Amino acid sequence: SFATASYATQLSPTSDLLGVFRFGGGVLALQGVASPSGQGAYTKVSYNPEAIAVQFPLTMNATWSSNSTVSGTAGGVPVVYYEQYQSKVDAHGSLKTPYGTFQVLRIATVLTKTVGPTITITRTFGFFAECATQVATVVSQPDEPNAEFTSASLVERLAP
């Protein structure tokens, strides 16, 4: 279904859904989200156009955005909704994880998801180290108004 995809990976430790990504042309782009199996209340949605997750090269103050129509089946129900991503490389420094300390760039992303009349805003900080990929992620609570939020719904970091 995603003929130009490069790989799929689990999107969250709390869900078995897979993000389907394409890497190439200077971007890492989300093409869709799918359940590992097409059985039961499965999910299989496609992004049109692809949502740009990361744009390369990563440099301080780089920005990018994308607007996608998401359509398909979510939890066994036909859906159509919209996602807008706005990202900026807004900070750099050292990040200490159980695996080690990394020099990182922080990508601040604001996701605005519109389903009918309902709008949900989620903020994410992704911490990227050269030659090591993303080494940590922090996701806000839904509808967090502050760019520098202090309450997270998810914190992940590289660990042995």
pLDDT tens figures, 30-85: 999 999 987 888 999 999 999 999 999 999 999 999 999 999 999 999 999 999 99
Residue 24's pLDDT is 95
Residue 86's pLDDT is 98
Output the six-digit token pair for 145: 């108004």
Q: pLDDT > 70: what percent of the chain?
A: 100
Residues in contact with 96: Cβ distance below 8 Å, sequence separation at least 6, in sequence order: none
Whether the Cβ atoms of residue 52 and residue 22 lie closer than 8 Å to each other? no
- For residue 83, give the DSSP letter: E
Write down the pTM of the prediction: 0.92
Per-residue pLDDT, averaged over 84-93, amounts to 98
Residue 42's pLDDT is 94
Per-residue pLDDT, averaged over 103-115, amounts to 98
Of 14-18, 57-61, 120-124, 125-129, the one with minimum mean pLDDT is: 14-18
Residues in contact with 134: Cβ distance below 8 Å, sequence separation at least 6, in sequence order: 126, 127, 128
Residue 1's pLDDT is 85
Residue 96's pLDDT is 95
